[in-house]
Structure 1
């Protein structure tokens, strides 16, 4: 219960934080947090027992939560890929197609289960039914593969991280992907053992399941938050560096620069680029070498622009 509440609080707070930080930007990771939040919050025991009877008292809320988790994991993979510059059209098509197949499969499997009254231990109640194994393994395999793919993408992009927060966030997502992959195997073995009547195996794997399930959620949620916060910190640093470079280069431009009649721009990087070009043009036309201070200001501006 405590872990479930911790996950719920982290995800709800994270959804609000991301909604603010990603205002005016791509909201894929915010949507991921929202879907995960709805899944975890609805699964908290007292709330689940209060809501599911309103849906018929046959654990339809479990199906809703699992559908939301599959959708959230899909947006996670796509959102992280976009955040680190690894998104490709073929990847989006694979995610959409595989997600659709899994959703159809789990809805069909759920509809064929012998219903049981509202319970917060759904798979323990129906796990002896073969269709329940299909229901659980299908979604868990998809979650594990999607989280694993997210982790692989992050490993390949760690060297490109611009801030320490970016780096920690990527490693958290890698760890979350590893937990998700391990959980995939654990759940598959538990489900098959339950159908086969080997309840002893199911109980023996209870601890790995109890560790990897919240572990994957907490690590992935933390990684997403750190990735977005790190991106904002990086943006702030770049903006400050551009402002300093502009302030230092403007006096040089006033003395030596030429007016090339470029259109005005409110973008600092565009303005800095224009000043650099016009200072260099002015120095060439005057045929006077820049002094040490001017060369330093120009070099700083060029370095800041290259890293922006």
Structure 2
């Protein structure tokens, strides 16, 4: 039940990221969301039983799910760290991170191969966790997850104040809280592994409630934090397009008067172009440039402008300056368009 809820939350995040698929250069967040959601989905009892039967009823699907999980955590961390810190050292850390991830996957495979798990179990660690290889198998996975999310969470809180827009700062707080809960989850798992080896099954079961609560909490906070920037960016672009459309209408009359004698360079707007979300801003920019060019060539044309026309021109310039300034902020862009590059 808990795995299904967590998987559903992550799949919702993936759906939030899909509309901006073409705008993003780095797909790390989407890859992370799909990979982690797949790992959690494979652990849903009905899906696990059916899938593992196809793999010989040897719990190989548990290994597959855990490999998906650590790979997803790696991509998640890479995207968040890149959004928070745009320095070149992040790429160097990515290369070392890939090496560590490779070693973790190998360690998972080796430790899993030493576990005696002769039949399919939807509670792998509960049924086989008394074995040392199983404890090592779990510890390798969760020590890796714990260290990665701890670094990521600290980075989020460290750099949240440098984000250009308020919703980016809020998103980083949510992500940081999600990482903190993920660390609690990891500590709960490691505690359960130790208690299982000691034969303290009742204490292990009590600690499992902490695990369940931390899992759902971590996924909710992480998903809200990761979904907030791309959703906010889409709403911002729509608002920007509406404001640009209004300015285009207000600027049309003075633009027509000023550029009437320069038809060879006047704007040619096709009906299909207006349907594009960025078309109003492009049209506004083109109109403003044509007016400025005309006034530069023939300064006397300024006499055709009323005070209201001058005010509209100033508003158009300010609107475009604000949009271009926002687009040029790399810290803003990396999280909003990428999910994170959100």
For Structure 1 versus Structure 2, the TM-score category normalised by the shorter chain is 0.7 to 0.9
Alignment of 1:54-93 (within 5 A): 54-81=54-81, 86=86, 88-93=90-95
Q: Give unpaired runs (5+ residues) of structure 2.
A: 324-342
In the alignment, the residues of structure 1 paired with residue 30 and residue 105 of structure 2 have an alpha-carbon distance, to the nearest angstrom, of 21
Within the candidate set 162, 183, 186, 2:185 is matched to 183
Residues 107 and 157 of structure 1: CA distance in aligned 2, closer, same or farther (over 3 Å): same
What CA RMSD, in Å, does the superposition of the two structures yield over aligned residues? 3.4
Residues 190 and 237 of structure 1: CA distance in aligned 2, closer, same or farther (over 3 Å): same
Q: Is the 8 A contact 2:266 2:290 kept in 1?
A: no
In the alignment, the residues of structure 2 paired with residue 4 and residue 75 of structure 1 have an alpha-carbon distance, to the nearest angstrom, of 20
In the alignment, the residues of structure 1 paired with residue 310 and residue 151 of structure 2 have an alpha-carbon distance, to the nearest angstrom, of 47
Deviation of the 1:198 alpha carbon: 4.6
Greater relative contact order (Cα 8 A, min sep 6): structure 1 or 2?
A: 2
Number of the residue aligned with 1:126? 128
Q: Is the 8 A contact 1:71 1:99 kept in 2?
A: yes
Q: Secondary structure at the match of 1:117?
A: coil
Deviation of the 1:256 alpha carbon: 4.2
Residues 225 and 113 of structure 1: CA distance in aligned 2, closer, same or farther (over 3 Å): same
Deviation of the 1:140 alpha carbon: 1.2
Deviation of the 1:112 alpha carbon: 1.9
Deviates more, 1:71-80 or 1:151-160: 151-160
How many residues are aligned here?
305
Alignment of 1:208-247 (within 5 A): 208-247=210-249
Number of the residue aligned with 1:286? 299
In the alignment, the residues of structure 2 paired with residue 248 and residue 13 of structure 1 have an alpha-carbon distance, to the nearest angstrom, of 40
Number of the residue aligned with 2:3? 4
Number of the residue aligned with 1:138? 140
Q: Secondary structure at the match of 2:130?
A: coil
In the alignment, the residues of structure 2 paired with residue 179 and residue 306 of structure 1 have an alpha-carbon distance, to the nearest angstrom, of 41
Q: Secondary structure at the match of 2:120?
A: coil
Q: Give unpaired runs (5+ residues) of structure 1.
A: none
TM (norm. structure 1) is: 0.81
TM (norm. structure 2) is: 0.74
Number of the residue aligned with 1:15? 14
Number of the residue aligned with 2:194? 192
